[in-house]
A and B are shown apart, each in its own frame.
Chain A
């Protein structure tokens, strides 16, 4: 998934037409309606363009070169990813909506880094102008803070990754590049599992996940062939969800 679920402290950027409604003047209501229309229309339009361009990049790579993966291979790869992350395509927008409000949704799910970058920026900005959470001022402050964060995000990526990083990698000896390619994923995944375990604070879920992963990846994958290997993580995800629910601590989660 791209973002963790939001922290408990949040900027309460917007709650649709709620919160500030009662004390608003006619002029304020009209101004907000205009702002809402503009940001929704253009927020959607810009996000749709970014979506199309980002998906067309790999398609251009395939069309413009001699590479020719089959449609079946592309579909299988997509399904393997969808089976693992698909739930979050729905869960995350629904979870973040009350925190972000409609305008910032189109910013946040384009830029990413919501919990670690955008929400902290929004909270800092609201404190800087002393905006009370839940007000229109707070909502605008959050959206402007995300604009500032977006500019910093783009500038840092262009300067330090696009230019600096590309230069750096070109200077590295072949042996270093080879190791970086081979071991980047294990170097990421070990840290991510620990980070996530610390974040969710549910020992039971972590133990279940590791046990299921060990059974599927170490015992079943070597015996079951390539197609199974492609969907092994999806199987772990569904088994972990089912077991975590069945074996939940019923006192802690009264349901």
Chain B
């Protein structure tokens, strides 16, 4: 498995994507520094915006790091960097991988997690993440022209249907874990309870950072309990 997930071209793809993101930032900064003076946006404003935006992103970035490290054992470093570095989140990417693995009769981890299943799952993750970018590339110019048709959807529909789809998707994937084994049931429950605790504490202590770190903390607590239960089972 390690030979496949660590294939050199995958590392190169990950590094190229990171380079592209940095190049985009550089082009945007140059454009802003050229247009800025005419728009009341000084070089000092530019520097302060860049630095304060970067500093504000440190906490959330480290929270994402914890989650990404937890995914390394499953997907290998290049795939994690590609998927988490780009638009994907841990929840969507692992869900896409699980959905894809199920269609070929496999699953994440264990006997059913073969290099073939990984290839199919990695393809599905890349395509799914890619479609968010396709959506952006196609829709942004239309929205910019002020194409209002896209926004003339019934607001009640928009308040209910997307959240229903999202909750339905993750509820389904969560319930699907339960018949797999007692340790799976325990892990889902511990993860859910830990997140509940984090959210309640975040509210009680007005600690917004706990909301960001909740997923990382829940994953680690869930995996520790799973480890103990798995050894005992």
Encoded as 1 (CB less than 8 Å from any B CB) or 0, chain A from 128 to 169 comes to: 110100011100111111111111111011101110111011
Given contacts A140-B49, A255-B155, 12 further A-B contacts (CB under 8 A): A16-B143, A39-B31, A53-B17, A57-B126, A93-B135, A154-B18, A161-B84, A179-B227, A186-B180, A191-B194, A192-B170, A239-B168
| Residue with the greatest number of chain B CB neighbours at <10 A, chosen from A151, A233, A253 | A233
A148-B50 contact, Cβ under 8 Å, with A160-B62, A188-B219: yes
Q: Are A111 and B86 in contact (CB under 8 A)?
A: yes
Main secondary structure of the interface of A (DSSP, over half): helix
Main secondary structure of the interface of B (DSSP, over half): helix
Select which of A34, A74, A103, A158 is within 8 A of B18 by beta carbon. Answer: A158
**Which residues on the A side are within 8 Å of B207 (C-beta)?**
none
Q: Are B73 and A180 in contact (CB under 8 A)?
A: yes
Q: Are A92 and B132 in contact (CB under 8 A)?
A: yes
Q: Are A42 and B154 in contact (CB under 8 A)?
A: no
| Residue with the greatest number of chain A CB neighbours at <10 A, chosen from B61, B62, B110 | B61
A148-B49 contact, Cβ under 8 Å, with A184-B74, A184-B219: yes
Q: How far is the CB of B44 from chain A (nearest CB, A)?
A: 8
Q: Are A46 and B20 in contact (CB under 8 A)?
A: yes
Number of A-B contacts (CB under 8 A): 613
**Which residues on the A side are within 8 Å of B179 (C-beta)?**
217-218, 222
| Residue with the greatest number of chain A CB neighbours at <10 A, chosen from B4, B9, B20 | B20
Q: How far is the CB of B27 from chain A (nearest CB, A)?
A: 5
Q: Are B81 and A60 in contact (CB under 8 A)?
A: no
A19 within 8 Å of B (CB atoms): no
Encoded as 1 (CB less than 8 Å from any A CB) or 0, chain B from 175 to 196 comes to: 1111110011001111111111
List 12 A–B pairs whose Cβ atoms lie within 8 Å, in order of A's numbering. A48-B137, A49-B20, A54-B82, A85-B92, A117-B64, A125-B49, A148-B51, A156-B65, A177-B73, A185-B98, A186-B226, A245-B160
Q: Are B39 and A153 in contact (CB under 8 A)?
A: no
Bin chain A's interface residue count. Answer: 35 or more
**Which residues on the A side are within 8 Å of B29 (C-beta)?**
144, 147
Encoded as 1 (CB less than 8 Å from any A CB) or 0, chain B from 105 to 137 comes to: 100111001011001111111111111111111
Select which of B67, B116, B161 is within 8 A of A241 by beta carbon. Answer: B161
A216-B143 contact, Cβ under 8 Å, with A46-B24, A81-B99: no
